[in-house]
């Protein structure tokens, strides 16, 4: 099956964007799982790993089906290799998550390292007085305001994926990552002290 050139390229872009975002999200989630010693997050990483495998195949198909010209062959090879890399990153994240799933209580040094790293993972509860309550994640503009990215939202016992349309409730716990400097800002935003 041949595809129209631009439509084919659009598909490649779409798949790769998803691959890159997911593989990087997985690393952060895997470290979160380790920090919190949390099986659910670790299982989510494993699920995402399977998703990435599937996505990677679709991406490679999209690249191969694009009607590229001969002089584009090298650039196309570059695209294929880039895809392999995202898959490798996802694998590495799955390995980190595996430590949690094996029920090994990792050495306390691991937790220290995650907390001290330049980019840290943190979790903050949303209090009723927070300006975030009732806003969608898109409206809340958390990355712009604090430099922190929300990885997952814990609602009751469940972890919810942070889709832009997700409305924040009081009592939610935001699991976020970013440079350590942003942590305080996020805390202030989510749980302002009265």
What lies within 8 Å, CB to CB, of 17 at 6+ separation is none
Give, in order, the Cα–Cα distances in Å from 10 to each of 17, 140, 178: 11, 30, 30
146 is an interface residue for other proteins by CB under 8 A? yes
* Cβ 171 to other proteins shortest distance, Å: 25
81 is an interface residue for other proteins by CB under 8 A? yes
27 is an interface residue for other proteins by CB under 8 A? yes
139 is an interface residue for other proteins by CB under 8 A? no
Place of tokens 């832009």: 164
Binding pattern for the stretch 160-189 against other proteins, x by CB under 8 A and - elsewhere: ------------------xx-xx-xx----
Instruction: Name the nearest CA neighbour of 174 among 182, 184, 186, 185.
Output: 186
> Can you tell me the distance from the alpha carbon of 54 to that of 88, in angstroms, rounded to the nearest whole number?
14
Element (H, E) at 178: strand 173-179
Interaction site with other proteins (CB under 8 A): 9, 12-13, 16-17, 20-21, 24, 27, 30-31, 34, 68, 72, 74-79, 81-82, 84-85, 88-89, 91-93, 95-96, 98-99, 104-107, 109-110, 112-114, 116-119, 141, 143-149, 178-179, 181-182, 184-185
């Amino acid at each position: 099956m041949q595809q129209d050139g631009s439509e084919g390229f659009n598909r490649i872009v779409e798949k790769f964007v998803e691959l890159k975002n997911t593989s990087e999200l997985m690393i952060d989630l895997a470290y979160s799982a380790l920090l919190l010693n949390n099986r659910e997050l670790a299982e989510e990483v494993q699920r995402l790993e399977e998703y990435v495998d599937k996505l990677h195949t679709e991406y490679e198909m999209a690249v191969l089906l694009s009607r590229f010209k001969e002089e584009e062959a090298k650039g196309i090879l570059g695209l294929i290799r880039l895809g392999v890399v995202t898959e490798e990153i996802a694998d590495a994240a799955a390995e980190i998550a595996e430590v949690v799933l094996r029920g090994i209580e990792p050495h306390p040094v691991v937790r220290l390292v995650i907390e001290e790293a330049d980019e840290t993972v943190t979790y903050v509860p949303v209090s009723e007085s927070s300006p975030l309550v009732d806003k969608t994640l898109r409206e809340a503009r958390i990355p712009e305001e604090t430099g922190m990215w929300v990885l997952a939202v814990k609602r009751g016992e469940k972890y919810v994926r942070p889709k832009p349309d997700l409305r924040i409730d009081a009592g939610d716990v935001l699991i976020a990552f970013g440079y350590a400097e942003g942590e305080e800002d996020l805390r202030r935003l989510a749980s302002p002290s009265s």
